[in-house]
Structure 1
Amino acid sequence: MASISPSNNMQQEESKKFVPSNEFVLQKHVAFFDRNGDGVIYPWETFRGFRAIGSGIALSTFGAIFINLGLSGKTRPGKTFPHLLFPIEIKNIQRAKHGSDSGVYDDEGRFVPSKFEELFAKHAHTYPDAMNGKEVRELLRANRTGTFLNGWVGAMAEWLVLYHVAKDKRGLLTKDTVRAVYDGSLFERLEKEHSSSKKKDSSA
């Protein structure tokens, strides 16, 4: 009987990892929360992702419940009944686009540079490359379309949570920060910063 070496096992595991698309950037936006890399995000992974970037237990719990309950069914086309564990399938994440969004992702989940630039051209009044809390709320009002449940709540939650976790010391959400959230790199950066901060606190 042929034996399977540890290196072969590792290669097989790596081949099973879900790799988010470079073209459909919306996949990269959410892939951070797929903590085991299998292409499916469960509520406990969403919770762990929020905790990893420094969010408190209350916000992390709310995020896990709100996001997975809201997006799971939309990313599982053809499934008649909801899955009791409310998984989000990253390959179908573009199906979870909702009303009142900024339009920076198109219907296929691709990044639209002109729409991104438009956000700041229209709403960054105090500084050309950053928005304060008032300007973020203005953006939300300007993009409001559809019904309350079909978009308003999702858009408000996304932007207000983003402002809460990513604003700088001046209370500004910078252009570079917002750009980084669209491709998911902001979450990785916040995780590293939070991890470094915890190490400093433990060694103090």
Structure 2
Amino acid sequence: MATKLDGVQTGILEAPLTVERPVYNPTSEQNERLPNPGTARANLAPSLDTPEGSQAWAAAHAHQTVLEAHVNFFDHDSDGVIWPLDTYRAFRALGFNVLASTIAFIGLHAALSYVTVDGYLPDPCFRMYVRNIHKIKHGSDTGAFDNEGRFIPQKIEDFFQKYSSAPEKDSLTKADISNGLRGQRLLADLVGRFAAYAEWMAFFFIVGPKDGKLLKEDVRRLFEGRLFYEIAERNSKRAVGAEKKGE
């Protein structure tokens, strides 16, 4: 007995994990909605539920890969260079307090600055360069970004198919994320495991789902970078509203 759809066998009982963690195995109809899901997209982040992605967003960032657009929020003045202060301001805008934002910018720039420089010498100001941001990719993650910074829709669909406890496979609880991180971890990859955990927990915090479930559409918009701006705008409006109430 095996998991089989449209002639593609994705699981066998003799290897229980292949049945317990089913991959995204699209039907003919789903393949028409989201063609070639395993092919990496250069500047578009689609999903089965949003097969066209965010067209306006992609058009505005047509000169960037999806990963570059993903981190564009942290490039405060859009000059292609992310300064430590840019990262601090970004975390504050996303709702993190002073301490958490300070820890974040110190840790991120200390760990990631060097891999984004063009030469062999480290940047004296610990800046990160957006043109080389694809080099920060780490292991034990979803694999949604390839090594060149393109987006692979199949990987997100796989992650939700494997680990979502929702019947519709359209959301993730903290327990689902924890199971997913355990399932994706690689041997001797402590850095990747820590980075993946920190990223998902930070994402869960900034979205702050009231029902404790992260929607797949939120995850998709996070990967393309648009969600950062939406959350910052939401926080800004809340702050203005709080100031008006205090007057």
Match of 1:14 in 2: none
Match of 1:15 in 2: none
Match of 1:200 in 2: 241
Within 2, Cα distance between the matches of 1:62 and 1:167? Answer: 20
Given the alignment of the two structures, is residue 95 of structure 1 paired with residue 151 of structure 2, yes or no? no
What is the deviation of 1:130?
0.7
Alignment map for 1:48-87 (pairs within 5 Å): 48-80=89-121, 82-87=122-127
Deviates more, 1:170-179 or 1:71-80: 71-80
Within 1, Cα distance between the matches of 2:184 and 2:128? Answer: 25
Within 2, Cα distance between the matches of 1:90 and 1:20? Answer: 13
TM-score of the superposed pair, with normalisation by structure 2: 0.71
Out of 95, 107, 113, the residue aligned to residue 147 of structure 2 is: 107
TM-score of the superposed pair, with normalisation by structure 1: 0.85
Out of 206, 213, 218, the residue aligned to residue 165 of structure 1 is: 206
Out of 165, 180, 184, the residue aligned to residue 125 of structure 1 is: 165
Deviation by residue 1:115-148 (Cα, 9 ceiling, x = unmatched): 1111111111135211011111111111111434
Within 1, Cα distance between the matches of 2:236 and 2:226? Answer: 16
Within 2, Cα distance between the matches of 1:95 and 1:35? Answer: 20
Match of 2:156 in 1: 116
What is the deviation of 1:66?
1.5
Of Structure 1 and Structure 2, the greater helix share is in: 1
Deviation by residue 1:51-104 (Cα, 9 ceiling, x = unmatched): 112111122112111211111111113223x22321110010111111111100
* Count of residue correspondences: 185
Out of 159, 166, 179, the residue aligned to residue 138 of structure 1 is: 179
SS of corresponding position for 1:35:
coil
Match of 2:5 in 1: none
Percent identical: 35
Match of 2:40 in 1: none
Within 1, Cα distance between the matches of 2:124 and 2:187? Answer: 28
Out of 176, 179, 188, the residue aligned to residue 220 of structure 2 is: 179
The answer for unaligned runs of 5 or more in structure 1 is: 1-18
Alignment map for 1:9-28 (pairs within 5 Å): 24-28=65-69
Match of 1:191 in 2: 232
Write out the 4+ residue segments of structure 1 that deviate beyond 4 Å after TM superposition: 19-23
Match of 1:39 in 2: 80
Report if aligned partners of 1:76, 1:88 keep a CA contact under 8 Å in 2: yes
- Alignment RMSD: 1.6
Report if aligned partners of 2:82, 2:128 keep a CA contact under 8 Å in 1: yes
SS of corresponding position for 1:121:
helix
